[in-house]
Amino acid sequence: MEVGVLAGTHGLRGDLKVRPLPTGALALAAVRDVFLRDSSGRLTPYRIQRCTPHKQLLLVHFEQVSHIDAAKQLTGQTLLVKCADLPELDDDQHFWCDLQGRTVVDRRRGVIGEVEEMFVTAAHEILVVRGAGGEVLVPAIPPFLEGVDDETGELLVDLPDGLVPDPDEI
């Protein structure tokens, strides 16, 4: 699961600024073993020694990186973690890898599609759901998200009129 992008260096001892992706800060606070993906797609394992919040970013120090010159070489790479390494969350919290690909069922309209993407706005995260009716942007906050049905695995939502295209207009 992608959790962030290495946005730059911080200080002279090899700390890196990480711009976290949705749920990335939660994931990085819980794991130590990560992978970096370079522009060619190659994955390299790293071990986090320290991860701390810094403004709207995270500061990460890898055990293998002890100088700014080594850190500069990593800038721009994508930070990934194994979903299997992530801890259990509260019932109302989910990592991105838990939601991706789930069928989304609206309380009144039924199935509206599958979760394909997620992005962050200044206010909250947005789920991009694609289905027969096209693309629907679902705010990832209550009261829109009602939870995950434990039996079916479906993501249950309650969307207001106008957010989902009317089938007669498609």
Given a cut of 70, is residue 137 above it in pLDDT? yes
Q: What is the average per-residue pLDDT within 112-121?
A: 88
Given a cut of 80, is residue 92 above it in pLDDT? no
C-beta neighbour count of 84 within 10 angstroms: 7
Compute the distance between CA of residue 67 and CA of residue 9 in angstroms, rounded to an integer. Answer: 10
**Antiparallel, parallel or unpaired: β 15-20 and 33-37:** unpaired
Domain boundaries, the chain: 2-84, 100-169
Same fold, 2-84 and 100-169: no
Is it true that domain 100-169 has CATH number 2.30.30.240?
Answer: yes
pLDDT of residue 151: 86
What homologous superfamily is domain 2-84 in, according to CATH? RimM (2.40.30.60)
Q: What is the 3-state secondary structure (H, E, C) of 129-140?
A: EEECCEEEEEEC
Would the pTM of this model clear 0.75, i.e. be above it? no
Given a cut of 80, is residue 94 above it in pLDDT? no
